[in-house]
């Protein structure tokens, strides 16, 4: 059973005035915010699903990564299943009213039973919404049933390709739902399909760029900040990018040093403005890719002048061996949320269509406040939110759990607007070779 | 605080095979059912809100009244508020994306504080969904604040009419949300408005007919029964109507006697078919109107040959003195649900747009299983459902609370499809004099 967190992790910092101020603004302007989102979805439809990693520094609340192939559905609070299923139903009603048969294509790491739990849970939610669902794997060669830690089972079936149609034996899917981030590139079997693919192949990490997402996010955050009257920096991490980096050959170091220092300088200025005494830092990661590989915390551009061999190797490859050449340099946002046991926590918020579902805390007992926490392992522990992020409560203080969750839901949906704009870019550019 | 029922009332009958059979079918065919509903909403949009009174006889589960001006929102389980608010947001997204300002027009019984609690709760849910809401009363002459039993307050403002627009002082509403069933006819101030009215004025009880609703319901129930392979009688009460009845002058008695006997005869045949030993009965009520006034239980057509003066007077008038002339004769459905304290209970299910929200039990300690329970008073006691009616659970038995609630949600949504078709009739007929 998913563990549900009843007490929100506390903020281990006394610099919370700015955050309380954001939260107060979000609660006071809730009607305006909800209307603003409605206008956004009219212009740009949301992706089918997304999840976003947030960092809460007390003085700043910002997204650091937006995932368009969400896993971890098994970590959501099962109490709110009706909300999740109704979110799927509303999405179908609006965008795919006639849809009956969906083929879900998961990641290839079939040995990660926690990931398979997420696939099984997603499948269950889709079925509860009234869809026929099969799970078609890119790698299994025979129908294979996996026994899951929860006691459930998941059947993976081999994919078949017949002309322009992808299927599993005896199942003519109308839509392909991708839960595979295509870090290894787009497999031949998915290229040129007749069936729509959600999200589009262009969302895969061979094509998608964090810098493109956060360029949109910056614009979106500025638009909302203007509507509700806050400093957009409070919800938006500064970033730069460098192209053509080769860590092994130390090519492109000048760009890295200069841009790391540029991000630190802006951060330092804002910290001074708000009287924050923490040390500014940056997170350096692949502009494409995910999974906490090739991620580095730095406090100065100089650190990139003398990376040792181990550090260079670690940075040079990201998931599935995709070589890093474009690098994304993001203002580090401290996570000052910690559990009663003093473990560091960061919230992950889930959405289906335009609907925020809630989320969970990624709790890590062996990582610091300035480190990436998306590193599954023995010390990674998900704890479901006790509430849904849908509703604020004006009668409660701005930092009451219900209101903090609402704030998380607003920031998460800003990244969803950014993702919707990315998808609109891909549609405009057209990527016929990827079947879209 | 709303009392939440954790244990579903039990069925005080041993004739439950047929119901278990319906429930089993509904659970097994859930995907088909959800798709079928999606198809219905594509063809015919649902009303903004509705609530439906169901009766569960163990061998039969059927709606007996569908209300398009729902009250009792305060009786819904507050745990699921996120679902209610998201239902409003999805409705707005789909049908009124630009909507910001709503004027809610409630019933005139301002001395019923429980009704005002419902208005206050509805207003709160609309605001949480991101709307600006004012409550404009047809009868208050000055802005009046009502203190509610829950500790909250409700402000009623006088309505103003300026040309084709209805407003309250300083508030230019874009949409009028009616929570007044217009039993007394359509007030002048609502006639010929520029603003859309939800639901349309034609839904008021001067125009609406139960027989029209249940004619649509019969067709809808047959369609779904065919899709999932059940006898439609199990979910559909037989009915007849008589026009031009004058109880005081005893005009139209022959029609009443004949139709009461006709309904009883069909019921008797079905009871025999299913081996049910209960005594068939009918409910006779106004074809227009609501509120449990002018409602009579009968076991034979002969009962209408010699009504005494008191009975005739009671039947002759319904709410707000609307004289009964068209009479609706409906197969009585026993409610065999009773609480642990042996009080009779009937479920009331709520919907916003196409979304079922859950509901509550109307529990009555002084009424019988063959009587109408919609009679507010000392012995009327609402108990919120502990679950939402959205999700069945295949692993639980068909009569587990979660699955019984799902069955309620399906039957409730069938009445919603019927109401959607009624609204489509009104649009086709056009009722320009009522502003639609």
Q: Is A307 on the interface with B (CB under 8 A)?
A: no
A43 pLDDT band, cuts 50/70/90, is very high
Ranges A284-288, A413-417, B431-435: which has the least confidence:
B431-435
Q: What is the pLDDT of residue A381?
A: 66
β-strand partners of B327: B242, B286
Q: Is A85 on the interface with B (CB under 8 A)?
A: yes
CATH code where residue A245 lies: 3.30.1490
Contacts of A34 in chain B (CB under 8 A): 89, 129-130
Q: Give the other-Cβ count within 10 Å of B308's Cβ.
A: 8
Q: Is B4 on the interface with A (CB under 8 A)?
A: no
Ranges A255-259, B84-88, B369-373, B389-393: which has the least confidence:
B369-373
Q: For residue A320, is pLDDT > 70?
A: no
Q: For residue B434, is pLDDT > 50?
A: no
Contacts of B388 in chain A (CB under 8 A): 82
Can you give B392-436 as a three-state secondary structure string? CCCCCCCCCHHHHHHHHHHHHHHHHHHHHHHHHHHHHHCCHHHCC
Q: Give the other-Cβ count within 10 Å of B257's Cβ.
A: 18
Both tokens of residue A84?
Answer: 């999740």
Tell me how far CA of residue A333 lies from CA of A55, A63, B155, in angstroms: 6, 9, 44
Distance CA B238, CA B232 (A): 10
Please write the tens of the pLDDT for every residue from B100-123: 999 999 999 888 999 999 999 999
B435 pLDDT band, cuts 50/70/90, is very low
In a domain, A52, yes or no: no
Q: For residue B248, is pLDDT > 80?
A: no
Does B81 sit within 8 Å of A32, measured CB to CB?
A: no
Q: Is A42 on the interface with B (CB under 8 A)?
A: yes
Beta strands in B37-152 (DSSP E): 49-56, 61-67, 101-106, 132-137, 144-147
R_g (Cα) of chain A, nearest Å: 21
The answer to whether B373 and B344 are in contact (CB under 8 A) is yes
Q: Is B86 on the interface with A (CB under 8 A)?
A: yes
Q: What is the pLDDT of residue A367?
A: 75
For the segment B371-400, the average pLDDT, to the nearest whole number, is: 72
The rounded percent of chain B whose pLDDT value lies above 90 is 58
Å between A112 CA and nearest CA of chain B: 26
Q: Provide DSSP, A289-326.
A: --TT-S-EEES-GGGGTS--HHHHHHHHB-GGGPBP-S
Does B83 sit within 8 Å of A86, measured CB to CB?
A: yes
Which of A154, A183, A206 is the last residue in one of the domains?
A206
A153 and A112: one domain? yes
Within A8-79, where are the H helices? 17-28, 30-43
B94 and B197: one domain? yes
In a domain, A27, yes or no: no
A318 pLDDT band, cuts 50/70/90, is low
In a domain, B145, yes or no: yes
The residue ranking higher by pLDDT, A382 or A360, is: A360
Angle of helix B30-43 relative to helix B17-28, nearest 10 degrees, comes to 70
Q: For residue A150, is pLDDT > 50?
A: yes
Distance CA B148, CA A295 (A): 56
The answer to whether A135 and A155 are in contact (CB under 8 A) is yes
Residue length, chain A?
A: 436
A244 and A169: one domain? no
The residue ranking higher by pLDDT, A7 or A204, is: A204
Q: For residue B294, is pLDDT > 80?
A: no
Residue of A nearest to B133 (CA): A31
Within B29-78, where are the H helices? 30-43
Q: Is B432 on the interface with A (CB under 8 A)?
A: no
Contacts of B33 in chain A (CB under 8 A): 130
Residue length, chain B?
A: 436
Residue A375: strand, helix, or coil: coil
A90 and A186: one domain? yes
B84 and B200: one domain? yes
For the segment B401-426, the average pLDDT, to the nearest whole number, is: 94
Distance CA A293, CA A296 (A): 9
A98 and A186: one domain? yes
Which of B291, B310, B332 is the last residue in one of the domains?
B332
Residue A46: strand, helix, or coil: coil
Q: For residue A7, is pLDDT > 50?
A: yes
For the segment A98-122, the average pLDDT, to the nearest whole number, is: 94
Does B131 sit within 8 Å of A98, measured CB to CB?
A: no
A3 pLDDT band, cuts 50/70/90, is confident
Exposure string of A412-429, with b = 16+ CB inside 10 Å and e = fewer, is: bbbbbbbbbbbbeebeee
Q: Give the other-Cβ count within 10 Å of B353's Cβ.
A: 25
User: How many domains in chain A?
Assistant: 2
Q: Is B431 on the interface with A (CB under 8 A)?
A: no
B256 and B163: one domain? no
Contacts of B97 in chain A (CB under 8 A): 38-39, 41-42
Distance CA B322, CA B199 (A): 21
In the A/B pair of chains, how many CB contacts fall below 8 A? 106
A83 and A201: one domain? yes
The answer to whether A338 and A9 are in contact (CB under 8 A) is yes
Both tokens of residue B79?
Answer: 């745990």
Q: For residue A315, is pLDDT > 80?
A: no
Q: What is the pLDDT of residue A321?
A: 63
B365 pLDDT band, cuts 50/70/90, is confident
β-strand partners of A285: A328
The answer to whether A388 and A83 are in contact (CB under 8 A) is yes
In a domain, B21, yes or no: no
A166 and A242: one domain? no
Q: For residue B378, is pLDDT > 60?
A: no
Q: Is A297 exposed, middle or buried (0-12, 13-18, 19+ CB in 10 A)?
A: middle
CA angle (B296 as vertex; B294, B301 as ends), nearest 5: 125
Query: What is the phi/psi pair of residue A430, to 5°?
Result: 70, 130
The rounded percent of chain A whose pLDDT value lies above 70 is 91
Helix (H) or strand (E) holding B339: none
Q: Is B42 on the interface with A (CB under 8 A)?
A: yes
B89 and B181: one domain? yes
Distance CA A175, CA A195 (A): 6
Among residues 244-283 of chain B, which lie with CB inside 8 Å of chain A?
Answer: none
In a domain, A382, yes or no: no
Does B83 sit within 8 Å of A82, measured CB to CB?
A: yes
Q: For residue B304, is pLDDT > 70?
A: yes
CA angle (A205 as vertex; A199, A211 as ends), nearest 5: 100
What is the DSSP secondary structure assignment for residue B169, as one 8-state letter? T
Q: What is the pLDDT of residue B433?
A: 44
In a domain, A264, yes or no: yes
Distance CA A139, CA A135 (A): 12
Does A82 sit within 8 Å of B87, measured CB to CB?
A: no
Distance CA B332, CA B238 (A): 9
Mutation for testing the A interface, residue in B27, B34, B41, B88 having most A CBs under 10 Å: B34
Q: For residue A319, is pLDDT > 80?
A: no
Please write the tens of the pLDDT for every residue from A121-143: 999 999 999 899 999 999 999 99
In a domain, B138, yes or no: yes
Does B39 sit within 8 Å of A98, measured CB to CB?
A: yes
Residue of A nearest to B402 (CA): A82
CATH code where residue A88 lies: 3.40.50.11280
Q: What is the pLDDT of residue B395?
A: 80
Closest CA to B331 of B55, B16, B20, B13: B55
Q: What is the pLDDT of residue B21?
A: 80
Q: Is A35 on the interface with B (CB under 8 A)?
A: yes
Residue of B nearest to A392 (CA): B128
Residue A330: strand, helix, or coil: strand
Q: What is the pLDDT of residue A290?
A: 58
Å between B112 CA and nearest CA of chain A: 26
Å between B122 CA and nearest CA of chain A: 15
Q: What is the pLDDT of residue A378?
A: 40
B181 and B83: one domain? yes
Q: Tell me the helix, strand and coil percentages in chain B, rounded to 5.
A: 35, 25, 40
Contacts of B390 in chain A (CB under 8 A): 81-82, 85-86
Q: For residue A252, is pLDDT > 90?
A: no
| Region for residue B182 given its phi and psi (left: phi exceeds 0; alpha: psi -120 to 50; beta: otherwise) | left
Distance CA B13, CA B16 (A): 7
- Cβ partners under 8 Å of residue B14, min gap 6: B58
User: CA torsion, points B20, B24, B25, B27, in degrees to nearest 10?
Assistant: 140
Q: What is the pLDDT of residue A377?
A: 53
Distance CA A26, CA A205 (A): 33
Residue corresponding to tokens 């009624």: B422
Nearest-by-Cβ selection for B82 from A33, A35, A83: A83
Q: Is B93 on the interface with A (CB under 8 A)?
A: yes
Ranges A135-149, A287-301, A324-338: which has the least confidence:
A287-301
Tell me whether strands B296-298 and B282-286 are parallel, antiparallel or unpaired.
antiparallel
Q: Give the other-Cβ count within 10 Å of B306's Cβ.
A: 9
- Cβ partners under 8 Å of residue B68, min gap 6: B47, B49, B50, B181, B199, B203, B208, B419
For the segment B410-417, the average pLDDT, to the nearest whole number, is: 97
Both tokens of residue B111?
Answer: 């001395």
Closest CA to B76 of B365, B355, B391, B351: B351
The residue ranking higher by pLDDT, B341 or A433, is: B341
In a domain, A372, yes or no: no
What is the DSSP secondary structure assignment for residue B112, as one 8-state letter? -
Q: What is the pLDDT of residue A435?
A: 39
Q: What is the pLDDT of residue A325?
A: 83
Helix (H) or strand (E) holding A177: strand A175-179
What is the DSSP secondary structure assignment for residue B319, as one 8-state letter? G
Distance CA B367, CA B373 (A): 7
Please write the tens of the pLDDT for every residue from A367-395: 777 777 666 554 556 777 777 778 887 78
The residue ranking higher by pLDDT, B336 or B416, is: B416
The rounded percent of chain B whose pLDDT value lies above 70 is 91
The residue ranking higher by pLDDT, B11 or B221, is: B221
Q: Is A100 on the interface with B (CB under 8 A)?
A: yes
Domain that holds residue B182: 78-207
A105 and A195: one domain? yes
Distance CA B222, CA B230 (A): 9
The residue ranking higher by pLDDT, A15 or A332, is: A332
Distance CA B193, CA B176 (A): 9
Q: Share the mean pLDDT of chain A.
A: 88
Q: Is A133 on the interface with B (CB under 8 A)?
A: no
């Amino acid at each position: 059973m998913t563990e549900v967190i009843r007490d929100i992790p506390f903020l281990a910092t006394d610099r919370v005035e700015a955050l309380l101020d954001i939260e107060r603004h979000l609660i006071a302007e809730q009607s305006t915010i909800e209307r603003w989102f409605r206008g956004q979805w009219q212009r740009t439809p949301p992706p089918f699903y997304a999840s976003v990693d947030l960092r809460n520094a007390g003085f700043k609340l910002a997204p650091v990564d937006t995932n368009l192939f969400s896993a971890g559905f098994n970590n959501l609070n099962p109490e709110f299943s009706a909300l999740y299923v109704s979110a799927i139903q509303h999405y179908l009603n609006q965008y795919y009213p006639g849809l009956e048969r969906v083929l879900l294509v998961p990641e290839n790491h079939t040995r990660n039973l926690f990931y398979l739990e997420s696939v099984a849970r997603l499948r269950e939610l889709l079925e509860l919404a009234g869809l026929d669902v099969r799970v078609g794997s890119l790698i299994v060669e025979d129908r294979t049933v996996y026994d899951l830690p929860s006691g459930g089972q998941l059947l993976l079936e081999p994919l078949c390709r017949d002309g322009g149609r992808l299927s599993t034996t005896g199942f003519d899917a109308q839509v392909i739902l991708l839960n595979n981030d295509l870090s290894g590139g787009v497999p031949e079997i998915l290229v040129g399909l007749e069936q729509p693919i959600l999200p589009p192949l262009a969302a895969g990490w061979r094509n998608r760029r964090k810098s493109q997402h956060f360029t949109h996010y910056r614009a979106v955050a500025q638009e909302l900040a203007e509507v509700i009257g806050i400093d957009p920096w409070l919800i938006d991490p500064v970033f730069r990018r460098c192209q053509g980096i080769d860590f092994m050959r130390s090519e492109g170091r000048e760009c890295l040093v200069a841009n790391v220092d540029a991000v630190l300088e802006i951060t330092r200025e804002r910290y001074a403005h708000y009287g924050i005494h923490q040390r500014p830092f940056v997170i350096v990661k692949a502009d494409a890719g995910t999974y906490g590989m090739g991620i580095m915390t730095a406090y100065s551009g100089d650190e990139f002048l003398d990376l040792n061999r181990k550090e260079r190797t670690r940075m040079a490859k990201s998931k599935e061996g995709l070589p890093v050449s474009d690098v994304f340099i993001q203002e580090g946002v401290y996570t000052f949320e910690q559990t009663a046991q003093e473990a560091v926590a960061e919230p992950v918020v889930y959405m289906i269509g335009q609907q925020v579902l809630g989320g969970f805390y990624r709790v890590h007992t062996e990582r610091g406040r300035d480190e990436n926490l998306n590193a599954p392992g023995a010390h990674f522990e998900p704890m479901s939110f006790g509430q849904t992020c849908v509703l604020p409560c004006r009668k409660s203080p701005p930092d009451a759990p219900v209101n903090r969750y609402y704030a998380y839901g607003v920031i998460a949906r800003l990244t969803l607007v950014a993702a919707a704009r990315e998808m609109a870019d891909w549609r405009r550019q057209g990527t016929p070779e990827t079947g879209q």
